[in-house]
Amino acid sequence: MAKRYQNRKLEFDRMVYAYLVKRLREPINVTDSYQVGAVDSFGAAKADNIKAFWAYTPLDRLIFNLRAVLGDQVKALPADFDDAETLMLMTSASDPSKIHSKYDGIVSIVEELTYLPPEQRWTGEPYLDKDSELTYPERVSRALTVATAMLYCMKVDGTPAAPIFGKIKDAVESTFSIRSIGSADEILGLMKSSGVADYRDLTNEGYLTLVRMAKWIVGHGLLAGDGTQDDLSGNWKQLSTVGKDGV
């Protein structure tokens, strides 16, 4: 049998297994099906209240049926990669166990922003502590939300106002297929408190940081753009060329 087929099957099976185990283990109240009212708190279907087909697909029904049959036995399923958001598993083109190495750089760049001494931080806005109790997927989501907000600063030639923060959140999902996290006050506050932005625009340090982000994002294949108007993949690709061939 062709080696290419064997390798692809192994890679695909790992991804599917990791995704299924993640879905089987997640609390019912955080599932998309529950959020749209398609199932109750026990995972039972509410046939008269299926508001969105995307949130209660045949696969969703299979997963809830499996949960009902397996019961507590789902906890005994060995997790190939349990520390990832389902969107991360859905869009990863490699072995799920390599997800950390794919995202670690962008997480580190953003979390480095919090290392400014207190006396140098902007104190007028809420401050995001890198040591807060965030899961790894939440840290990834926060990092990509901060990166996107900084890119918007460059696009609009100024610090984005809170009312347009919804566009930033849409751009995170459209560009990276990752859920956004954090409010406008938190994300913009972090940018100001860490010195990468001020009242008006990105600082010089902010522009340098943004280029570092772009090079990591493009170089490590984080872009999963959907082609909509909120997809900023082209901007990231263009920014990643800064410093190359005199650009």
pLDDT, tens digit (0-9, with 9 covering 90-100), for 171-225: 998 999 888 888 888 888 888 888 888 877 888 888 999 999 999 999 998 998 8
pLDDT of residue 128: 46
Least confidently predicted of 7-21, 27-41, 72-86 = 72-86
Q: Residue 48 pLDDT more than 90?
A: no
Q: Does the pLDDT value for residue 123 go beyond 50? A: no
Domain membership of residue 55 as a residue range: 3-82
The mean-pLDDT minimum among 68-82, 155-169, 223-237 falls in 155-169
Contact 32, 22 (CB under 8 A): no
Supply the pTM of this predicted model: 0.72
Q: Is residue 109 located within the same domain as residue 56?
A: no
Last residue of a domain, one of 64, 82, 100: 82
Best CA proximity match to 105, nearest among 231, 240, 234, 219: 219
Q: How many domains does the chain have?
A: 2
